[in-house]
Structure 1
Amino acid sequence: METTLKDKFQIISKTKEIIIDMTCFLLIILFVYTAITKLYTYSSFEEGLHNSVLLKPYSHILTWFIPSSEICISILLIIPKSRWLGLLSSFLLLLFFTIYLIYMVNYGGPKSCGCGGVIEALSWTQHIYFNIFFILISGTSFYFETSLFDIHQNIKYKMEDSSSN
């Protein structure tokens, strides 16, 4: 049996959707877990931010902003119509976290991680690699989500165009 171009497109499209779903699931677990841990250990998290030379002036705001952002991003990832924004936000937040970690490893003073739980047990280098993994999968999934949206919009446009003739 010969595989048509349409069949290949459907297989590729379905594979991308599965990768996006798996990535969203992992990001939701990561962000909800870290947000809850930060809120549960609020004073410890705030103290860790306050001890950071780079973040000290913003520690009171960031203590609420970071976990709130993680929860909001998780909600965006759950809602299908906002997944692209959730994936982009995940990519950017993880990128900022990773830049901060790299800065702290190379130039920072006292190092404290407010991620909590299991993630807090990672060394700073392991934490950077951990974040890079999530940056790669969120960036890839954002790209896939955008390409699937473009393809679906293109098909919809062609169908509307052919029906108007």
Structure 2
Amino acid sequence: MSNQGIHSKLVTLFSLLLTLLFVYTAVSKLIELDTFQWRMERMPYIAPYASLISWAVPFLELIIAGLLWLPRYQIMALYASFVLLGCFTLYIVLVLKFSDTVPCSCGGVISALGWRDHVLLNVSFMVFALLGILWSKKHDNIETY
């Protein structure tokens, strides 16, 4: 099997993993929307935007999850995945470094992770998204020649 075939299969796997992550976290937030919003209202720096964020984030996660499966939008969705996870990770790091309180707004199984594990999980999924972008672009360049 060529590298092109392996890379294509890995991009599909990464898209599946990102989809599972985003659908799981979005559904967890939407099922317990009141709790999620209440937790967001207690988060440092973003409390004034809690109402907007509590609705926007799960819907953005669901949109990205859907776009990962549309070939025309897959690279855009991989970029969006990378950026969204990067924003979450940066926020976690900033709160851990500069805030006196560190409430968790996570739901489900992910809430059982410690902060270090949460950052590692996010970075791992960011790597999946980045590799997906790189390998998709490589595949697109091969097809255009």
How does the TM-score come out when normalised to structure 1?
0.85
For 2:82, which of 91, 101, 105 is the aligned residue?
Answer: 91
Superposition deviation, residue 124 in structure 1: 0.8
Mapped partners of 2:22, 2:106: distance in 1: 10
1:66 aligned to 2:57?
yes
How does the TM-score come out when normalised to structure 2?
0.96
Letter in 1 for 2:133: F
- State whether residues 15 and 69 of structure 2, in contact with CA within 8 Å, keep that contact through their aligned partners in structure 1: yes
Superposition deviation, residue 112 in structure 1: 2.4
Question: Which residue of the partner structure matches residue 33 of structure 2?
Answer: 42
Higher Cα radius of gyration: 1
Question: Which residue of the partner structure matches residue 17 of structure 1?
Answer: 8
Mean alpha-carbon deviation: is it higher for 86-95 or for 101-110? Answer: 101-110
Q: Find the residue that maps to 1:81 and give its secondary structure.
A: coil
Question: Which residue of the partner structure matches residue 101 of structure 2?
Answer: 110
Mapped partners of 1:120, 1:86: distance in 2: 25
Mapped partners of 1:150, 1:32: distance in 2: 30
Question: Which residue of the partner structure matches residue 145 of structure 1?
Answer: 136
Q: Which runs of 4+ in 1 moved over 6 A?
A: none
Mapped partners of 1:114, 1:39: distance in 2: 12
Superposition deviation, residue 32 in structure 1: 0.2
Mapped partners of 2:66, 2:129: distance in 1: 15
1:52 aligned to 2:55?
no
For 2:112, which of 109, 121, 124 is the aligned residue?
Answer: 121
Number of residues of Structure 1 aligned to a counterpart in Structure 2: 145
Superposition deviation, residue 113 in structure 1: 2.4
Deviation string, structure 1 residues 107-135 (Cα, Å, up to 9, x no partner): 12322222310101101111001101001
- State whether residues 52 and 109 of structure 1, in contact with CA within 8 Å, keep that contact through their aligned partners in structure 2: no
Letter in 2 for 1:148: H
Structure 1 residue runs of 5 or longer lacking an equivalent are 1-9, 156-165
Letter in 2 for 1:144: W
- State whether residues 37 and 117 of structure 1, in contact with CA within 8 Å, keep that contact through their aligned partners in structure 2: yes
Letter in 2 for 1:67: P
Overall identity of the aligned pairs, in %: 28
Structure 2 residue runs of 5 or longer lacking an equivalent are none
Mapped partners of 1:113, 1:11: distance in 2: 44
Mapped partners of 2:106, 2:75: distance in 1: 25
